[in-house]
Chains A and B, each alone.
Chain A
């Protein structure tokens, strides 16, 4: 399952151009005609690390920042998108305007997801630093020390990551259903088995991708996939806790059993009955 997840990552990365074009078409339905999206008001290398692409809708450009001759600094990203939606879709109702704004942002993220840079980690733009710089067209230089440090290998999520997570989760669910079909295992046993299988599947995918990253092979597939790493750690923790609980229950049951055997007033038959019940 883990290997299939990695193979799907390679496949999805290979189809990134087509996916981007597909999602850009959908994004076009929620775009105003008045120029580029406010999410792209910052340009340049790694501009997604700087502004607008990390889900932080309260982020704002520095005071005095202008775009297309209008002042856009000091206002939240969401208010900038809303303003563009009002201009582009003047007949929209209050709720319709907000729905369009949310769909604009969501489809913009979707069209950026298949690209090699993907999207930065949520709320990473909190680390963005702006410096006035007259040598730039925007009048500002910007950097994000957090994202510069982790880079796209450790600090981004893209469509291939999502596809890999989705296929592994689906295969795990199918395997679980087949394994326990018409068996009467306890719910606890089923949960533990599922958690352990998840650790193996997600762990395999994660190790392969990290090995590819270390070896510098397979380009964009070599990275830390947070959507895989998260469930791996979650299920590893769950497995440990469930196994510990099972162990504790077993030790308690042994103690009870030994206590009955040690009790001289009770017959051996009593112990056998206790064990069987």
Chain B
């Protein structure tokens, strides 16, 4: 299964865990930048934000490159495991970093709710 560009479905709210779409890396970086400037981040927050950015970029690469689903899944789990081992945190924990990032990303796509 390959992903579709979220820009084609920008009227709908996007989240990595609930969408089968990918986002443009520039907008992912823009959203992460907005979170970095608007929040006072501790090392765990920074690592979580970076993990989310990396996951989004992995998905973009999966959409465009010849990576198998199994390999893609392994890459995702490796990133997740690294964050859990180093900071005891999941990339998606319904916390402030995740919420702020996806709010900024959805806004970058023009989504308003």
Contact = CB atoms under 8 A, between A and B. Distances in A.
Interface string A234-259: 00000000000000000000000000
A188 B15 CA distance: 56
A135 B15 contact: no
B2 to A, nearest CB: 10
Q: Is the interface of A mostly helix, strand, loop or mixed?
A: loop
Interface string B56-78: 00010010000001101100110
A45 B20 CA distance: 12
B13 A45 contact: yes
Contacts of A40: 93-94
Contacts of A141: 18, 20
A90 interface: no
Given A40-B93, A40-B94, A43-B15, A135 B20 contact: yes
Contacts of B77: 137, 139
Contacts of A46: 18
B113 A137 contact: no
B73 A134 contact: yes
Nearest to B2: A135
B95 interface: yes
Contacts of A134: 69-70, 72-73, 76
A69 B13 CA distance: 28
A45 B94 contact: no
B84 A68 contact: yes
What size tier do the contact residues of chain B reach?
20 to 34
Interface in B1-53: 1, 3, 13-20
A116 B113 CA distance: 9
Nearest to B81: A69
Contacts of B95: 36
B95 to A, nearest CB: 6
B67 to A, nearest CB: 11
Contact of A137 (B20, B55, B62, B70): B55
B93 A138 contact: no
Contact of B76 (A42, A44, A45, A137): A137
A135 B72 contact: yes
Contact of A135 (B62, B80, B90, B113): B62
Given A67-B90, A134-B70, A137-B92, A43 B98 contact: yes
Residue with the highest number of chain A CB atoms closer than 10 Å, among B13, B70, B77, B90: B90
A264 interface: no
B17 A137 contact: yes
A174 interface: no
Interface string B102-113: 000000000001
A221 B79 CA distance: 41
A66 to B, nearest CB: 9
Nearest to B13: A45
Given A45-B13, A45-B15, 10 more contacts: A36-B93, A44-B17, A45-B18, A67-B90, A69-B85, A135-B62, A136-B17, A137-B16, A137-B17, A141-B20
Interface of A: 35-36, 40, 42-47, 67-69, 116, 134-139, 141-142
12 contacts: A36-B90, A42-B17, A43-B90, A43-B94, A46-B18, A68-B88, A135-B3, A136-B16, A137-B55, A137-B80, A137-B91, A139-B73
